[in-house]
Structure formats: structure tokens, C-alpha cells
Amino acid sequence: MKKIVKKIVTAVAVALIPSWGGAAAIASVAPATIEARIDSLLSQMTLREKVGQLNQLNTADFDTLGTAVAQGRVGSIINEVNPEVVNALQRKAVEESRLGIPLVFARDVIHGFNTVFPIPLGQAATWNPSLVEEAARIAAVEASATGIRWTFSPMLDVSRDARWGRIAESAGEDPLLNERMGLAMIRGYQTDNLADPTAMAACAKHFAGYGYSEAGKDYNTTWLPLPLLEDVVLPPFEAAAKAGAATFMTSFNDINGVPSSGNKWLMRDVLRERWGFDGVLISDWNAITEMINHGVAADKKEATLLAAAAGVDIDMEGHSYPDVLEALVAEGRLDEAVIDGLVRNVLRLKFRLGLFENPYVDTSRPSPAFAPAHLAAATRAAEEGTVLLKNTGLLPFGKGVKKIAVVGPMADAPHDQCGTWAPDIRRERSVTPLAALRKLYGDRNVLYAPGLRYTRDRSCEGIAAAVKAAGDADAVLCFVGEEAVMSGEAHSMADLDLKGAQTELIEAVAATGKPVVLVVMAGRPLTIGRERDMADAVLYSFHGGTMAGEALARIISGKANPSGKLPVTMARMTGQYPMYYAHKNTGRPPEWTVELDSIPVEAPQTSTGCTSYYLDAGKEPLYPFGYGLSYTTFEISEPRLSASVMPMSGATFTVECTVTNTGKCAGAETVQFYVRDVVGSLARPVKELKDFAKVWLEPGESRVVSFTLAPSQLAFHGLDGKPVLEPGEFMVWTAGSSAEGTPVSFNLVENKLL
Ligand code: BGC
């Protein structure tokens, strides 16, 4: 076998973002100039005008909104996407309001605007930050063409419970993966010059802890001890603040009884003081007023006082700030200087966005929506975000597969394949698997019989036709999953099995004896163990967006080689969640388990082993975090450490491994670098991801992948929330998933002992 060994060093990749013609180059205004201009404006503003800047309203009928804007009572608008209306409202602000302060227009541009990319969970499955950055850049180009200059993305909520519908919007269960994907999105949205008319302000949300909503039920309470907050929940947010995310959003949940929109410690001490954030902090939708429902404020005035004290700059469509802030100042309960501080942050954002110089959207520019380069990038993202979970050799289809039965409710679901938060799609632009397969294999060779009309359909009437199609074909492609509306905000699920009669459909087509590929298109990991066992191959594609069908057809036919890896643990049964690879070992980690059905009647209580597992689900997930197959195979060597002893206050340390493509086709492997702190003053996770590198390799090609590790990456937080670095043994893995690899150890030692 030919051996080519190249050396690559992981470093933040600099993505080559194409330049987008048409946008005038705008220089950013110097910070000192901005502060001076803010001072000047503030000195001229009435209290009412100041409050206006803190008021974000949903778009509404033009006359009502336009009048409020002209009176200086509105600072920003969410959800207006008609550029003519954007400009007309902006004219009201710039030309008719007393001080001419421009509006900023915001929207949830979460995973693409017109061209929809995979849901963020699917983008995370690419393990390719450059591609995610490119997706965000394209989203910004398309959205800014309608006047949107602020997106409420990225969501940085580490999500370890797939019942929570918003796991779809996250990068999954790991803090580092959330951080890397979040930073890539921020770079893509903001570029290095927010004043560029194609740049959008990013928003790190939901600050904080929202992913820990108890029992995966949306908006639910959270209990977060300081070590969990500091080690898992906050790091992606800290990285976002330090990377210059222009805005942050409070979360809906309370943490230990304190709703985020009134959490002074989190918003002022941590975000502003510790991390030095000088951007805008916006409440989530109506979240200030909802502190009344939480039961920490008796009325709007109390809620508003809490939020202002916590430093929440903008009230999103909550009508608390505009309704009561002025009265609170008049009553002497709130110092106007506090309001000045909030307004200062809002004006700073508007200056940074260049809105004072360039308030209007250029409607003469040709629409960039669905540009060929955007569709090509969306195809690549959907390809790389698809995870091959099982393959007995059926995929990619070879020459023997001429006639294909295409069944299942997701085979031709142009709306649903785009997933949650895709309000600006045009469903006729979605390329469904059915359309792409027909194009690739010819209409006559694709026998389409969906079997079910939609994923929750319980009627089995259509299944006979699907069975007939399967019988007439060489192989069956069965597209199942979840409709878009089944994940996302306020769409939690208590049971993650396939809904409707999808399992019956799979059973029926598998019973024909024809080889079956199961393709799952969903907003979260579903519990598909039974269905996996009935299939010869399984592709998990999340909701892949506009080009999902094209990407899947390319993978199925072998034009593309899948390289996705799970950004989240897939459980066997819903009751295993929260389930994540970085769990603690417990005092009784199981070495063996007993299955419920194998327990003899009247078995002694202790005969099943008194260890930490489920009798009906065992100890393992269905698939672990980081897992994903390819059409080729890879070998990753054990880690090679630059030393076996690391001084606590020393320089960085190098961990290398060699990855080889041992199969017959080109492909990409994601090398994952995990560490375990063997003994700590607090129990430490059994593994933690410290870095990763996605490597493309020709057959037979090898590369050396090199990671660096600094002592600070081995620190954790104690019960008091303070960081500690402790000497001792650490184990290191370099592997293709969180469940593979052979570890090598090193010792972290105090310098004086060296
Ligand atoms: C969501 C946010 C979103 C906001 C604006 C809220 O309900 O929680 O994520 O940005 O609405 O649409």
C-alpha cells in the first residue's frame, strides 16, 4: 500500500470565504469616536427617547409601527423581512424622529435564510468549522439583502437531553463542539467588520443553562451547581464574548431559582465584569415580563427593576421597559444613569453596524437568494452532516441496484426537511430525496410509494403500496423521521421512538427480503434501535435543509462519501436521557450487565450486579458521541506524547497520532482528542473532548495529526466556582469516537517537584 505521510497541525482554520460582489466597502468607526458620538447623543436624548432605544418590537402594521418609530419610541424591530418596508420604517427613524437614530432589524436566521443549511445539530455533525462559517456567511449575505443586520444565533446551549426540542438548534452535548461551531458562526455572520452591509451582528444565546431545562421540558427550571455551570455551560459563552460576539440573549429558564433576565450575577458580574462584554444584552421574547410568572416579581415594575438592575439592555417584545421604565425613574426607584448605561450599549451596536452612515438596504442589488454557490455549499454541509451509522456493504449502491423503491413520509417533504426555524424558505426550492433520486437514476427506476402521508400518520392504508414497490425493486430506501414541527422551541417530546406507523412501514418493507436503507431525517437523535436492526444500512441526516435530498442521493449513489460524526449520544431508550459521554464514573461502574428478559423468576435481588445501569436498556447508548462510519476505513494510532511529565506551569505539550485511510476510497476521518483526569478533588468526567481535526485522506494515505495541550486545559472548577489545577495522572485518547482508542497516560506535576 502506498504510504504518504504528511503532517498537519490543528489550528483555527481560516476559511476561504468568497467575496460577495455588490456591497459597498464600509470602514468601521474607531471605538473612541463611537464613544464620543454616544456621549453627544445621550446628552440630547429625553428619557422617553432613551427608553425607546431599549424597546424592540415585533413587526406590525406599518402605520402603528411607523408612528411609534417616528416618535423615537422603538429602537429595533424583529421579523420584518420586506426590504421596502425595512427602508420605509428606517426613513421614519432617520428622517422623522427628532434625533434620527437608525433602527436595527433583527431576525432568527438560525441555519440559513433562503438557502437553508442543516439544522445546527446537523451542522455540528460535520465537525467542520470552516464549512459552518461558510454557511453563516451565506446566511448573512442573503438576510442582509433584505435589511436584516442582527441574527439571534448562534445558540450555545450544551444539550444533553434529546427530549428537549431545542437540541436541534444546538451543536449537541459537548462544550468544546458548541464553542467551535458557535465561533465559526460568529465569524461567518460578523466578518471582521460589522459595518460591512453584508455583516450581521451575532447573538450568543440563551445565556444561560437553557439546555439543562429539567426533564427536557422546554422553559423548565434548572438546578446548576457552580462546577457544572463553569465547566460545561459557560465556556462556549465565554469564548463567544471574547471572540467579539456583538450581542447576547438571556434565557427563559431560571437557574437555581433566579430567572436569567433578572440574574445580576450572571449578567453583570460574569458577562460584563469578568468577560469584559460591551455589546448588547437582549432579553428573550417577553422574558422580562415572564418573571411575574416565574414568581420572582409581583408586577411589570418589579420585573423591570430586576432586569434593569441585571443590565438587560433591550426588552424584546415584552412591553415592560416601554410601559414602566419612565415611571420607575419618576418614582425615584431607578436611577436614570442605569438607563443611560443600557442605551449606551444599544447605540454602540448601531455605530458598530455602520447604521448611522448606511441605514438603508440597497434594494437595487440583485437578490443573492439561492445563488448557485449557496446551493453548492448547502449540499456540502448536508453531505458532511449526514452520519452513516450502519452499513453491511449495501451502501453505496452498486451496479446491481437498478430499480429503487423510495418509501417513507420524509422522502418528499420539502417543508419538513428544512427543520425548525426556517421561516424564510421557499418550499419549491427544496430538493427532496425523491426529486434528487429521480434525477440521478431516472424516473422509471424510482418506484415511489410513501406508505405514510406524514411522520405521525397512524393509518397503515398506504403500506401495501410501499410493500409492492419494495417487491418490484432491487433495494429499498426508507425515509423516516420527524416533521419540522416536532422539534425546536416548545416542542419537547417525552418519547423519542419513531411516531405514527413508521416502524410498521419499515417492518413491512423489510419483510419483503429486499435490502433496506433506513434514512432518518429528524431534529434530534431518535431511539431507532429496533428499526436499525431491521435495516441493512442506516444514514442519520438530521434535517438537512434545502439541499438535503441532493446530498443524500450523492451519498447513496457513492458520489459522496459520508463523513459525519454524532454530535450527541444516541440512546437506546428515551429513559436513558440525559445521556452523554462525559459522564462521571460513579462508585459502581458496570463491567457486566443483565438483560431484563434473562433474569430468572424469583432471582435473588443482588444477582443482576449492584452497578449503575438499566435492566431494560443496559449501560451503553445505541451509538456514542463522535461515532460515524465511512465508505472507507481508517486507523488511528495511539497518542504519542511529547513528554510523560507535564509541569503545571509549563509550556504546552504536544499529542500526536497518525491517521491512515486503510480502505479503498478517499474519505474524511475526524480524529478526536480526549483527556481524563484520573483523580481529582471532585469526581471528574470519564472523558472530555479537548480538540479534534477532520482530515481528508486518499486510499493508503497517512497523516500525522498534532494537538497541543496546555496545563490550563486541565483545570476545572471547584464547588466554590473557582478554577483549580491539580497534579496527578491524566489519560489521553486519539480516536474516531468517544468510545474507541487506547489511552496513554502522563503526569501533571508541580514545578518544584521536577
Ligand atoms: C426564542 C429565541 C428567539 C426569539 C425571537 C424566542 O422565543 O427563545 O431563541 O431568538 O424567540 O424570535
For residue 686, the SS3 value is coil
What pairs with residue 184 in β-bridges? Answer: none
Measured from the CB, is residue 416 less than 6 Å from ligand 1? no
Q: Which of 56, 58, 59, 108 to mutate to test the pocket of ligand 1 (most atoms within 8 A of CB)?
A: 108
Residue nearest to atom 12 of ligand 1 (CA): 108
Asked if residues 738 and 626 have their Cβ atoms less than 8 Å apart, the reply is yes
What is the rounded distance in angstroms from the CA atom of residue 523 to the CA atom of residue 502?
Answer: 16
Active-site residue list? 284
Positive/negative CA dihedral, 589, 593, 596, 601: negative
Measured from the CB, is residue 157 less than 6 Å from ligand 1? no
Residue nearest to atom 10 of ligand 1 (CA): 152
Measured from the CB, is residue 491 less than 6 Å from ligand 1? no
For residue 544, the SS3 value is coil
**Which DSSP letter does residue 30 get?**
P
Q: Which grid coordinates belong to 350?
A: 448601531
The pTM of the whole model exceeds 0.75: yes
The pLDDT of residue 2 is 40
Q: Report the candidate in 361, 379, 370, 439 with the shortest Cα–Cα distance to residue 406.
A: 439
The pLDDT of residue 17 is 34
Q: Which of 152, 167, 261 to mutate to test the pocket of ligand 1 (most atoms within 8 A of CB)?
A: 152
Going by their DSSP bridges, the two strands 744-749 and 728-735 should be labelled as antiparallel
Segments of 333-451 assigned E as strands: 387-391, 404-407, 446-448
Neighbours of 139 (CB within 10 A): 28
**Which DSSP letter does residue 696 get?**
E
Measured from the CB, is residue 317 less than 6 Å from ligand 1? no
Q: What atom of ligand 1 comes closest to residue 317's alpha carbon?
A: 5
What is the rounded distance in angstroms from the CA atom of residue 631 to the CA atom of residue 663?
Answer: 8
Measured from the CB, is residue 205 less than 6 Å from ligand 1? yes
The pLDDT of residue 25 is 53
DSSP letter string over 244-285?
T-SEEEE-SSEETTEEGGG-HIIIIIIIIIIT---SEEE--T
Measured from the CB, is residue 107 less than 6 Å from ligand 1? no
Residue with cell 445563488: 371
Residue 343 parent element (H or E): helix 336-352
Q: Which of 205, 249, 285, 290 to mutate to test the pocket of ligand 1 (most atoms within 8 A of CB)?
A: 285
Asked if residues 188 and 14 have their Cβ atoms less than 8 Å apart, the reply is no
Measured from the CB, is residue 169 less than 6 Å from ligand 1? no
Phi, psi for 653 (deg, rounded to 5): -130, 145
DSSP letter string over 85-128?
HHHHHHHIIIIISSS-PPPEEEE---SBSSSBPPPHHHHHTTT-
- Residue 206 Cα to ligand 1 midpoint, Å, equals 9
The pLDDT of residue 341 is 98
- Residue 285 Cα to ligand 1 midpoint, Å, equals 6
What is the rounded distance in angstroms from the CA atom of residue 555 to the CA atom of residue 388?
Answer: 10
Measured from the CB, is residue 438 less than 6 Å from ligand 1? no
What is the rounded distance in angstroms from the CA atom of residue 110 to the CA atom of residue 153?
Answer: 6
The pLDDT of residue 4 is 40
The pLDDT of residue 741 is 98
The pLDDT of residue 422 is 94
All residue ranges of the chain with pLDDT < 70 are 1-27, 753-754
Measured from the CB, is residue 210 less than 6 Å from ligand 1? no
- Residue 220 Cα to ligand 1 midpoint, Å, equals 15
Within 389-460, residue ranges assigned H as helices are: 433-441
Residue with cell 424592540: 56
Residue nearest to atom 8 of ligand 1 (CA): 284
The pLDDT of residue 754 is 65
The pLDDT of residue 753 is 66
Side chain identity at residue 545, one-letter code: G
What is the rounded distance in angstroms from the CA atom of residue 504 to the CA atom of residue 179?
Answer: 40
∠ Cα 220 245 271 (to 5°): 60
